[in-house]
């Protein structure tokens, strides 16, 4: 199926790191800085994967912020994923979009996103299997632990995370209540990364980011590097 969709420019891909950071920062409301300042601080600290999530703004406001984040992440060679909105992701020239179970269906999102990354939130084994079969580049699974960031339902636990990881062949990103103190246990489940918001935003965000990255770097599960999903590598 040739829809003549725009593709991620090769010149830009040469500037974008070809593997995800093991830590994905999901944007929230910083306490003592603007969103752009907080993201810049985290990129300076070593985070290379930003997921822009905002539930209470207009499409125009979302696009405005996404464009600012694209400029910042490009400066650091980092990956930018936009939550929920494939149109905003494409308009902002983001690397991809992350979709929930009630968002645009994966097959339709692929028509819009072309070769760019599509991640899918999952909460059960069947959802994970469906996402892989449907062509998702990675899945988020959770909440692994109790989280106050949003109403995400009953914690699934590490055993469920291990089951998901052993059942699908695409990268699995753990999400929900992950703290630096529990990070090692999460990575030992075999997952390729974790998505964090409040665990980084609460306190000194630079030091929090460095701590997460330090623990992640020490985990045996990260002795291998894992590439960006195939659709990114093909570009």
Buried b (16+ CB within 10 A) or exposed e, 131-141: bbeeebbbbbb
pLDDT of residue 152: 64
**pLDDT per residue over 167-182, tens digit each?**
999 999 999 999 999 9
pLDDT of residue 153: 80
Phi, psi of 13 (to 5 degrees): -65, -30
Query: Higher-confidence residue: 64 or 29?
Result: 64
pLDDT of residue 218: 83
Give the separation between CA 108 and CA 86, rounded to whole angstroms.
Answer: 10
The per-residue pLDDT of the chain, averaged, comes to 86
Confidence band for 62, pLDDT divided at 50, 70 and 90: very high
Confidence band for 34, pLDDT divided at 50, 70 and 90: very high
pLDDT at 223 over 50: no
| Phi and psi based region of residue 119 (left: phi greater than 0; alpha: psi -120 to 50; beta: remaining) | beta
Provide the pairing of β-strand 172-175 with 138-141.
parallel
**Any idea of the CA torsion for 158, 219, 198, 19, to the nearest 10 degrees?**
-110
Contacts of 149 (CB under 8 A, 6+ apart): 26, 28, 176, 197, 198
Residue with tokens 């003592």: 32
pLDDT at 6 over 80: no
Nearest CA to 86 among 50, 60, 123, 117?
A: 117
Locate the domains of the chain by residue range.
Answer: 10-233
pLDDT at 32 over 90: no
pLDDT at 3 over 60: no
**pLDDT per residue over 135-171, tens digit each?**
999 999 999 998 876 666 899 999 999 999 999 999 9
Confidence band for 18, pLDDT divided at 50, 70 and 90: very low
Number of neighbouring beta carbons within 10 Å of residue 3: 9
Query: What CATH number does the domain located at 10-233 have?
Result: 3.20.20.70
Confidence band for 8, pLDDT divided at 50, 70 and 90: very low
**50: Cα separation from own chain's centroid:** 6
**pLDDT per residue over 109-129, tens digit each?**
999 999 999 999 999 999 999
Contact in structure between 71 and 61 (CB atoms under 8 Å)? no
For residue 111, give the 3-state DSSP assignment.
Answer: helix
Q: Where are the beta strands (DSSP E) in 132-206?
A: 138-141, 172-175, 193-196
What H or E segment, with its residue span, contains residue 36?
helix 35-45
């Amino acid at each position: 199926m040739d829809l003549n969709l725009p593709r991620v420019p090769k010149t830009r891909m040469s500037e974008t790191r070809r593997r995800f950071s093991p830590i994905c920062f999901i944007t929230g409301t910083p306490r003592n800085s603007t969103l752009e300042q907080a993201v810049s601080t985290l990129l300076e600290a070593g985070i290379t994967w930003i997921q822009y999530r905002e539930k209470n703004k207009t499409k125009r406001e979302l696009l405005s912020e996404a464009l600012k984040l694209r400029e910042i992440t490009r400066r650091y060679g980092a990956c930018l994923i936009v939550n929920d909105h494939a149109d905003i992701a494409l308009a902002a020239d983001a690397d991809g979009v992350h979709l929930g179970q009630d968002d645009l269906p994966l097959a339709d999102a692929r028509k819009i996103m072309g070769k760019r990354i599509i991640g899918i939130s999952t909460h059960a084994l069947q959802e994970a299997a469906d996402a892989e079969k449907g062509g998702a580049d990675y899945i988020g699974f959770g909440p692994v632990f109790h989280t106050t960031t949003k109403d995400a339902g009953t914690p699934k636990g590490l055993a469920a995370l291990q089951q998901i990881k052993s059942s699908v062949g695409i990268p699995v990103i753990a999400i929900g209540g992950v703290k630096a103190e529990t990070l090692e246990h999460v990575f030992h489940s075999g997952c390729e990364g974790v998505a964090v918001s409040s665990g980084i935003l609460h306190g000194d965000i630079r030091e929090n980011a460095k701590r997460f990255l330090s623990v992640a770097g020490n985990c045996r599960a990260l002795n291998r590097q894992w590439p960006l999903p195939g659709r990114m590598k093909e570009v």
